[in-house]
Chains A and B, each alone.
Chain A
Amino acid sequence: MGSLFSKKSTPKSRVTEQDQAVLKLKQTRDKLKQYQKKIQLNQEKERKLAKQCLDQGRKDKALRLLKKKKFQDGLLEKTDNQLDNLERMVSDIEFAQCEIKIMEGLKSGNEALKELNAIMSLDDVEKILGDTEDAVAYQQEIDAMLTGTSIVEFDEEALEGELDAMLAAEEEMKMPDVPVSGIDMPEVPDHEVGEGEKGEVKERPRELFAG
């Protein structure tokens, strides 16, 4: 609503000259339409009158009225054509106004783009990309240096030897040496050894854990 204390005499008019032209065209169109309506009403009246005349047997009067109606039909057709012309012109003007708006839109879009391009020159972009590349390469060098050299010196061979030894020790603990010869193996009994009998554990290790 704007400030309470300022009094605008008249707000700025947004009516253009083309608008005034369109208004005049439309005023003419309205007048034509009113004229047409008048003729149509008149025609209707005279048609009824002609019918009456026929009923009364006044053929010649009826004929005259019909001629008049024919003439008015012609008028109506002409006004229809004029109306078409007017509508066409109004729509041409309105379309041209649209096109002007489109051109203005394109123009200001174009200028905005130009300004943005001016901010960012191609040389600037090249320079920035080059600087970035340099910085990345530098970083990679630093990385290589840091990972390549170690602060504490290790004897790789000695370490590996120790590791092997550890692994071997673990294996020995797992598997006792299997005696190769000199120990008599107990004989395998002929009869079946039942579950209750004290069977040799070695022969039937699996049964202990069955069930």
Chain B
Amino acid sequence: KQWYQRRVREPWQYSFPPFFPIQPIVKTKEQQLASWRSLICDYHQHHRKWEVDRVVFENGRISRRLSPAAQRVVLQDLCDQGQGIMEGERCFVLWKTVAQWGSLIHGWVSERGLTGTVLTLFEIHSGDDTEGQPFYGMDVWLLQHVITALGKEGKAELMMGESEDFSDAGVKFY
């Protein structure tokens, strides 16, 4: 569970005990939250994890962790700054913004000449053709969220399948 050993860089604050309780002084708190945001994004991007992995919130080496209340504060801040998004109980980390994901995926679709054709969400997040892409393995809820955002720009249209959890949903890009 020593995830930080695999990381390329770890912020110095992570080994600094005061990093864990939420700081009372506004200026310090702002810096602290900014560090948490960048730590969370870096970690999840590096390990390609879409949903928040609570392992980031504790550092066994110094025996410190964020309390559940502190975690809520950090995650709320993450979402407020546009680097996270909540869906019910789940929190997804957006190391790229929804718009950036949308334009990445749309770019890939255009390059392959697939605009105007129907694709399943499954083939986008787990297809043979997308294996090397940054969005490979994306959580299906997040993917449909990105596609819905693209839909508002008229660049895509989500097609619901029979199940509500989007597992068999499709999309048509324009």
> A residues touching B (Cβ–Cβ < 8 Å)?
11, 13-15, 19-20, 22-23, 26-27, 30, 94
Chain A residues, CB < 8 A from B118: 15, 19, 22-23, 26
Report the nearest B residue to A31, measured CB to CB: B168
Whole-angstrom distance between the alpha carbons of A60 and B157 in the complex? Answer: 56
**B85 → chain A closest CB, angstroms:** 22
Q: Digit string of B119-155 for contact with A (CB within 8 Å is 1, else 0)?
A: 1101100000000000000000000000000010010
Chain A residues, CB < 8 A from B84: none
What count of chain B residues pass the 8 Å CB interface test?
A: 15
**A14 → chain B closest CB, angstroms:** 6
Q: Is the CB of B172 within 8 A of A27?
A: no
- A–B complex contacts, Cβ < 8 Å, 13 sampled: A13-B157, A14-B157, A15-B172, A19-B118, A19-B159, A19-B172, A20-B159, A26-B123, A26-B170, A27-B120, A27-B122, A30-B123, A30-B168
Q: Other CB < 8 Å A-B pairs besides A11-B151, A22-B118, 9 of them?
A: A11-B154, A14-B172, A14-B174, A15-B159, A19-B118, A23-B159, A23-B161, A27-B122, A27-B161
Contact A22 B117, CB 8 Å, known A14-B172, A14-B174, A30-B123: yes
Chain B residues, CB < 8 A from A15: 118, 157, 159, 172
Whole-angstrom distance between the alpha carbons of A30 and B168 in the complex? Answer: 9
Name A's interface SS: helix
Chain A residues, CB < 8 A from B117: 22, 94
Whole-angstrom distance between the alpha carbons of A22 and B117 in the complex? Answer: 9
Q: Top 7 A-B pairs ranked by shortest CB distance?
A: A23-B170, A30-B122, A22-B118, A26-B120, A19-B118, A27-B168, A23-B118
Report the nearest B residue to A1, measured CB to CB: B153
**A96 → chain B closest CB, angstroms:** 13
Report the nearest A residue to B160, measured CB to CB: A23
Chain B residues, CB < 8 A from A14: 157, 172, 174
Chain A residues, CB < 8 A from B119: 26
Chain B residues, CB < 8 A from A30: 120, 122-123, 168
Whole-angstrom distance between the alpha carbons of A30 and B174 in the complex? Answer: 22
**A31 → chain B closest CB, angstroms:** 8
**B155 → chain A closest CB, angstroms:** 11
Q: Is the CB of B170 within 8 A of A27?
A: yes
Whole-angstrom distance between the alpha carbons of A11 and B155 in the complex? Answer: 11
Residues facing A in B8-62 (CB within 8 A) are none
Instruction: Specify which of A11, A14, A30 lies most central, judged by the most chain B CB atoms within 10 Å of its CB.
Output: A30
Q: Is the CB of B120 within 8 A of A23?
A: yes
Report the nearest B residue to A37, measured CB to CB: B126
**B159 → chain A closest CB, angstroms:** 6
**A36 → chain B closest CB, angstroms:** 11
Report the nearest B residue to A18, measured CB to CB: B118
Chain A residues, CB < 8 A from B161: 23, 27
Chain A residues, CB < 8 A from B168: 27, 30
Chain B residues, CB < 8 A from A13: 157
Chain B residues, CB < 8 A from A19: 118, 159, 172
Whole-angstrom distance between the alpha carbons of A76 and B168 in the complex? Answer: 22
Instruction: Specify which of B118, B151, B168, B172 lies most central, judged by the most chain A CB atoms within 10 Å of its CB.
Output: B118
Report the nearest A residue to B170, measured CB to CB: A23
**A18 → chain B closest CB, angstroms:** 9
Whole-angstrom distance between the alpha carbons of A14 and B120 in the complex? Answer: 16
Whole-angstrom distance between the alpha carbons of A106 and B2 in the complex? Answer: 65
Whole-angstrom distance between the alpha carbons of A19 and B159 in the complex? Answer: 9
Whole-angstrom distance between the alpha carbons of A27 and B123 in the complex? Answer: 9
Whole-angstrom distance between the alpha carbons of A13 and B172 in the complex? Answer: 10
